[in-house]
A and B are shown apart, each in its own frame.
Chain A
């Protein structure tokens, strides 16, 4: 199981990469393993407001469904439309091509509530 350094993580297994006020969001390697083969991703709508801790999308595998919870609040400025045709990108490259959405961060303080990579790795081990 891979946990990438330099990213922030939520307890719900989303990762956040912060670059100049923009947060790129995806789900962790641990999450994609738990989900098994992803067959469909319900993407958030561009232009809508994401709210920390609230559902922003849905990931379906054959036998399960998981909500994607927004790790930070803000306007959704871009979504990864490639996932519509290639949901397997989440399995193949969760931290890269499998990213889900980009959010314009509303309140940087929210990032403090997220976990660092070491802390997150520990949470996964306890599962």
Chain B
């Protein structure tokens, strides 16, 4: 499809602005002004047709099943979108002091997150999960300042953002091997703990979809070492109303509002990654915090704060959606979310394990991981994923976690029905049969998409990163 620039026609226009005030010439010296503005010249209908056409070249939750593991692609209720667009919210300037509604919403959202996680205080400032991790680790770094705790321990099944966030805080990362059950190996953990370890970062349930059944012992070992326990909350959809990280011994965690709390992913953002902490770390949270005093909400500064991780207060528009969601489903609904998410995942696991190699055959939480071990005729995970495109599905997360060969990580989530899951299961089985009978069909996929397999090597070797006018 042509780029918007290639549709440009000299002199075409979509909008004008009226100066209104008497014009004053020569406000800026000519040398200060730009000589050309490299933007397309198009009409309103050109813009609408172009971007509508582009939208039709995009798969989304609203047009199909999206079992993308660790991403929790649940349905995004429409009411949430409408509420975030209320003018009282989206027209509010961050420095407008008549902001009681906004502060109340943020304060109540924080309280609800505290109740859900069993932690004492939350900051809503981080803009994404990785941003939350960074914030959480900054808090840990500041808490241990001068104590020479320089290491972060994390399992080999962890998200890539964990070690990357640690590096940005000047920590070195120690990766420990998972045991044969895919869980933290207690001996391995003990062997790697010493007085230089600031924190252990765990994803619970982990990226294999498994709950760390030894969590209480892990937490004790970590704390006995004087270290803190950080939880990557990406998989929180498996714990709502069932178990609280704070009760398990977690000291710091982040939550992904765009996963667990149904705010849309928007093709990769904006999300929000609130960070929760135990009472003893509250003073380190980013500024400003929000306080309720005598019925009036206001900003407060935390005495030992790490500072700020972005301008103003966070992705407020995303907070409105998450708050609306929590109020809609209520406390009882939160538990139902997790029960159904876990039920659905276990159902799909049971139905698929006869045809595909299951990495760990045990009760899973909200997701499970298959491998391409034993696939006939050299069919790989990537081939299966691309063939799923032909059948109108978004593939699961693939090749992650790294510890499973050709990982296929499936997360159905609670908003999908049995019918939807059954259709997907039958397609997966069909692909397995195709791999036996017609492997080339699978390997040449996709064939029904607007473009076929793209040349990633060419893209990286000879990068073309913009349209040249």
Contacts and interface: CB of A to CB of B under 8 A. Distances in A.
A87 B460 CA distance: 11
A55 B255 CA distance: 36
Contacts of A60: 460
A78 interface: no
B461 interface: yes
Interface string A39-71: 110000000000000000000101100000000
B460 to A, nearest CB: 4
Interface in B29-78: none
Contacts of B456: 62
Contacts of A39: 457, 460-461
Nearest to A86: B461
A29 interface: no
A60 B399 CA distance: 18
Interface string B444-469: 00000000000011001100000000
A100 to B, nearest CB: 17
Interface string B297-339: 0000000000000000000000000000000000000000000
A88 interface: yes
Contacts of A75: none
B211 to A, nearest CB: 30
A39 B462 CA distance: 9
B283 to A, nearest CB: 39
A39 B456 CA distance: 9
Q: Which residue of B399, B456, B460 has the most chain A CB atoms within 10 A of its CB atom?
A: B460
A63 B381 CA distance: 15
A60 B457 CA distance: 11
A97 interface: no
A91 to B, nearest CB: 10
Nearest to A37: B457
A63 B460 CA distance: 10
A33 to B, nearest CB: 15
B379 to A, nearest CB: 18
A44 B399 CA distance: 31
Nearest to B457: A37
Interface in B393-423: 399
A32 to B, nearest CB: 13
Interface in A64-99: 87-88
Contacts of A88: 461
12 contacts: A37-B457, A37-B461, A39-B457, A39-B460, A39-B461, A40-B461, A62-B456, A62-B457, A62-B460, A63-B399, A87-B461, A88-B461
Interface of B: 399, 456-457, 460-461
Interface of A: 37, 39-40, 60, 62-63, 87-88
Given A39-B460, A40-B461, 12 more contacts: A37-B457, A37-B461, A39-B457, A39-B461, A40-B460, A60-B460, A62-B456, A62-B457, A62-B460, A63-B399, A87-B461, A88-B461
The 5 closest A-B pairs by CB, nearest first: A39-B460, A37-B457, A62-B456, A39-B461, A62-B460
